[in-house]
Structure 1
Amino acid sequence: MISIRQNIRSASIAALVMLMAISLTSCNVAKHGALPGTLRINIGTEPPGLDWEVETDSTSFDVVSNLMTGLTQYTPQLTCAPGCAKSWDVLDGGRRYVFHLRDDVYWTDGKKLVAGDFEYAWKRLLDPNSGAQYAYFLYPIVNAFEYNSKRISDSNAVGIKALDDFTFEVKLVKPAAYFIYLTAFCPCCPARKDVIEKWGKRWTDPEHIVTNGPFMLKHWAHEYKIELEANPKYFEGRPKLDKISMFMVPEQATAFALYENDELDFVDNRSFSTPDVERCKDSPEYHNEALLRNNYIGFNVTKPPFTDARVRRAIAKAIDRDVFPKILRRKERPSSSWIPKPLMGYSPQTGEKFDPEGARKLLAEAGFPGGKNFPRITMLYPNRDDVKTVTEALQDQLHRNLGIDIELQNQEWKVYLQTLHRDPPPIFRANWGADYPDPETFANLFTTFNGNNTTEWNDKTYDSIVEEAGTEQNPEKRRKLYERADHYLCDEQSVIAPIYLATQNTMVKPWVKGLKFNALDIQFYKGVSIEP
């Protein structure tokens, strides 16, 4: 998923900035204490939306992950445990899944959840009129691609069917080693046809939305705060929290001041600047977790000068990736490969290494010796302090090592995402966090029909390697295929230039109990409690 860990109502900022008088020389102790039964967090920005079959970003999914439960759900170890499905059978050599649903799962309006809610939701995800960028998730299913690409019009031909109210069948074209993970992720959660058809685009408003997870959407003050309340009908029992207050404070320093003043109970990278990490890294409240999230420079390969692979390779070779952990100081790991360690397919040899001389040679071969006559281009990036720091460092390196000057442009998160999907600029800074703990979530991103591929690159060779890897059942053969795909993407074609792997840096108040972190950086709050 696309991630920004950032918009707040301008009238609210003035009040919040008053808290900035808090000392910047040490990590402050508690001021007011806990608010019983309530978890207060900062999600940094207005979610683009809460339609889990349409949205693609981490902010939206941070909310949805606590409103919805799919067929399965992640354990802290990122394995799939029963969710709405109490069990499932894998049949026909991995080509057919039969999910047996619980009979005690209810929507928040009191209606019982049935298998038809999954059939409707998955076919809605595939409906070409929905424009869902995660439709590719379901392409392993019989006729899913054909339906989504309008090659067939009959949704009944897709291998998705509710056999009865509590039995859901899925037929795959070929075995997919990663398929079960998809059933735990937000876009594959169930949905109610009657609610969506009645309210149209307004169906996710608090007064209309119905959900089946541990919390309910109670209030949404746009660009200020979202409030969730405990769902008393949740099939695993009522959560320990009564309420979650999700604030939207874009400025890291302002948000961290709120934390130090005990106005927030938990903050992560969205609220935690490098200077604050530096002064608080020895606090018992501080935690650092490695993430399956890769940051990269993306190229629109249909726009000059990045139609030429030599230019893309030159950019990739001109970047000293060791710089980023030094300027961010949050234990980031330099990365030239796309598939991150420890996933299969990772290889430290993959990707262009720092080689300024080789970079200048490639640029000269492409017709731009010493950067001469290189066109004026603008690199797009999302508006956040630490992202700005990284992008300015890239700008400086390209000037020093290649003699080219690029402009920088930032956009607020929602606008940035719209720009990438509508008309990607020639060059942009982006990142991708794993949707599930399998290399497919990275390799598939740059295939031809992936709705989140904003490079405009399509390559049949790459597509075929990734497709073969996704269906290969032998782990060693599968590893080698993903290695080959990664080498083709990052070395031979240089469609992207990976730069570093992110970490999650958090501060958690001592009264917050049961908060667990994971490498996917999906935040689940059903097991959290406040114990002053």
Structure 2
Amino acid sequence: MEKAVVNKAVKRRLILALLTCMLLSLLLAACGGGTEGASGGGGDTGSKILLYNNVREPTSLDPPIGFDQVSYDILNNAMEGMTRLGKDQSPEPAMASEWKVSEDGLQYTFTLRDGVQWSNGEPVKASDFEFAWKRMLDPKTASSAATLAYVFKGAEAFNSGKGTADDVQVKATDDKTLEVTLAQPAPWLLSMLANPAFFPVPQKTVESNPNWTAEADTFVSNGPFRISQWNHDSELKMVKNDKYWDAANVKLDGVTFKMINDSNTEYQLYQSGELHIAGVPADMSDQLFSEGKVNVQDSAGTYFYRFNTTMKPFDNAKIRKAFALAVDRQKIVDLVVKQKQKPAGGFVSYGLKEPDGRDFREVGGDLITFDAAQAKSLLAEGMKEAGYSTLPEVTLTYNTNDLHQKIAETLQAMFKENLGVDVKLAGKEGKVLTAEQKQLQLQFSRSSWLPDFADPINFLDIFESKSPNNRTGWSNAEYDKLIQAAYQETDEAKRYDLMHQAEKILMDEAPIMPMYFYDSAYLQSDKLVDVVRHPYGYMDFKWADLK
């Protein structure tokens, strides 16, 4: 009898314990529901999910189409090319295990790694690279990145409709071998092949579904992460790709790319732990810099405006130059942007070394400076040439973002003060602005250029007459001649001299108005380590970790 009583007591205690555990579990789930895990995870306590603001929806995750930072920062983590920029910014073997280069520098033979796979389990083949690069060059694709591939023999003819895909000297000789013949030596080729425009695409998938990049469940990748969820215009989630050849060195469980197009909101989310990285809001810049909380790292690229030289009054070079000279770039950097950037005295940014070791920008010097008196004089001359007694109405268009708006408003005030010109402002969503800019529908519009590889030619060749990246309507035969000569020149000192001559024409003719050179000023959680920010590339989370 006594034993029976004891058993009942034990059972009651066990039931109470189980109920207590269940209640605790429910409470923990309720507290954690919908939040990130202890290490920034996606709902699983302890999972390592990096939270990053991509600012806006990617333009496209089709490698030859995206061609902007908001697309390529994602692609650089979801996919991989023959090479990958390493932690020291040099190209390293990636999908390719090795390559051989002929003595004349015109022939490259790439060998793929054993067992590389797409995220759907299919093998990555050399033919996927051949297909991808020829697809980028196909005029039907209309890729803005296509001109980068003109270094391949036969590429320009195919892209311009004067040749065929078979003329392009890129050939998969078997599943693991890709042979490439160049039209001219390209010392930057291995760095350029790390650019997302040159990522392979899964031929079978692309041919069966032209919209394969539009949704998470159809997207196929071959990089450190794969896309698991995509809530358009809100966030895109990635998880570690267990089929990636170097998965053992990927420490994060995933990355969530949020899309927040306001720097103050971004900062608030960083403060609350909902982002691991944030930019520096201009109105808090002085405080955050003085507190030593801001990281500043070399970057590359130029913030600038494009004049539409096919629209009045900017079909007149003197009027364009007048607007460019009327801007005090140092004030904009110091009082508006406030992130320690350098004012742009040319188009090519700092960090590119001449053959003798000097910096290209320092050798070229300031080709455009603030000069209100000269600006007024040039405006008067230009108006006289064009027969204007009153300047036609001018509208400056910027893509909607609080910083771009502040800069535009500051420019508006400077044009009024220094030229006596009233300029209207118009904000447009980024994709719309880019599309209209390409169609030459905007008179005067905000832009930026992030180089695709570390060479001045990649800044300057975008303003060749035939370049789809020109977007100004400007054409100059002497400029085109200098760029083509630079491509053919094998003597590096002479090549750099040709590029300096070209940049001087660009600044004298002023189809663009450079503002400042980018750097990377950011806030980053102490928990996050080993993020690689490539000055001449894109954000790389392959080696990142959350402690």
TM-score by length of 2: 0.87
Aligned to 2:194: 184
Range with greater deviation from structure 2 (198-207 or 326-335): 198-207
Task: For residues 246-279 of structure 1, give each alpha carbon's deviation from its aligned partner in whole angstroms, at most 9, with x where no partner exists.
Answer: 11111211121111011111123xxx31123322
The one-letter amino acid paired with 2:493 is E
1:284 Cα deviation after fit: 5.6
1:134 Cα deviation after fit: 0.6
Query: 1:176–1:471: 8 Å Cα contact kept in structure 2?
Result: no
Which of 368, 380, 385 is the aligned partner of 2:402? 385
Residue 232 of structure 2 corresponds to residue 222 of structure 1: yes
1:386 partner SS: helix
Query: 2:301–2:348: 8 Å Cα contact kept in structure 1?
Result: no
Residue 416 of structure 2 corresponds to residue 406 of structure 1: no
Which of 372, 376, 386 is the aligned partner of 1:356? 372
1:66 partner SS: helix
1:188 Cα deviation after fit: 0.4
- 5+ unaligned residues in a row in structure 2: which ranges? 1-37, 355-359
Aligned counterparts of 1:462 and 1:451: Cα–Cα separation in 2: 16
Query: 2:51–2:256: 8 Å Cα contact kept in structure 1?
Result: yes
Task: For residues 67-86 of structure 1, give each alpha carbon's deviation from its aligned partner in whole angstroms, at most 9, with x where no partner exists.
Answer: 11101110223211111111
Aligned counterparts of 2:106 and 2:370: Cα–Cα separation in 1: 44
Task: For residues 493-512 of structure 1, give each alpha carbon's deviation from its aligned partner in whole angstroms, at most 9, with x where no partner exists.
Answer: 11212121122221111111
Aligned to 1:161: 171
1:92 Cα deviation after fit: 5.0
Query: 2:205–2:212: 8 Å Cα contact kept in structure 1?
Result: no
1:161-310 paired onto structure 2 within 5 Å: 161-238=171-248, 239-268=250-279, 272-283=280-291, 285-310=293-318
Task: For residues 218-258 of structure 1, give each alpha carbon's deviation from its aligned partner in whole angstroms, at most 9, with x where no partner exists.
Answer: 10001111000101111112421112111111121112111
Aligned to 1:311: 319
Aligned counterparts of 1:177 and 1:451: Cα–Cα separation in 2: 23
Aligned to 2:70: 59
What is the alpha-carbon root mean square deviation over aligned residues? 1.9
Query: 1:42–1:264: 8 Å Cα contact kept in structure 2?
Result: yes
The one-letter amino acid paired with 1:70 is G
Structure possessing the higher relative contact order (Cα contacts under 8 Å, 6 or more residues apart): 1
Aligned to 1:46: 57
The one-letter amino acid paired with 1:258 is L
Aligned to 1:72: 83
TM-score by length of 1: 0.89
The one-letter amino acid paired with 1:490 is M
Aligned to 1:486: 503
Task: For residues 127-159 of structure 1, give each alpha carbon's deviation from its aligned partner in whole angstroms, at most 9, with x where no partner exists.
Answer: 11111111101112111111111112x311111
1:48-127 paired onto structure 2 within 5 Å: 48-127=59-138
Task: For residues 24-44 of structure 1, give each alpha carbon's deviation from its aligned partner in whole angstroms, at most 9, with x where no partner exists.
Answer: xxxxxxxx8744311111111
2:64 partner SS: coil
1:342 partner SS: coil
1:482 partner SS: helix
Aligned to 2:464: 447
Task: For residues 405-432 of structure 1, give each alpha carbon's deviation from its aligned partner in whole angstroms, at most 9, with x where no partner exists.
Answer: 1101111112121121123412112111
Aligned residues: 495
1:365-444 paired onto structure 2 within 5 Å: 365-367=381-383, 372-444=389-461
Aligned counterparts of 2:79 and 2:471: Cα–Cα separation in 1: 28
2:283 partner SS: helix
Aligned counterparts of 2:537 and 2:403: Cα–Cα separation in 1: 18
Distance change (3 Å), C-alpha of 1:477 and 1:311: same
Aligned counterparts of 1:521 and 1:78: Cα–Cα separation in 2: 8
The one-letter amino acid paired with 2:154 is N
Range with greater deviation from structure 2 (272-281 or 189-198): 272-281
Which of 323, 327, 331 is the aligned partner of 2:331? 323
The one-letter amino acid paired with 2:101 is V
Query: 1:288–1:505: 8 Å Cα contact kept in structure 2?
Result: yes
Aligned counterparts of 1:204 and 1:212: Cα–Cα separation in 2: 17
Aligned counterparts of 1:55 and 1:505: Cα–Cα separation in 2: 24
1:283 Cα deviation after fit: 4.7
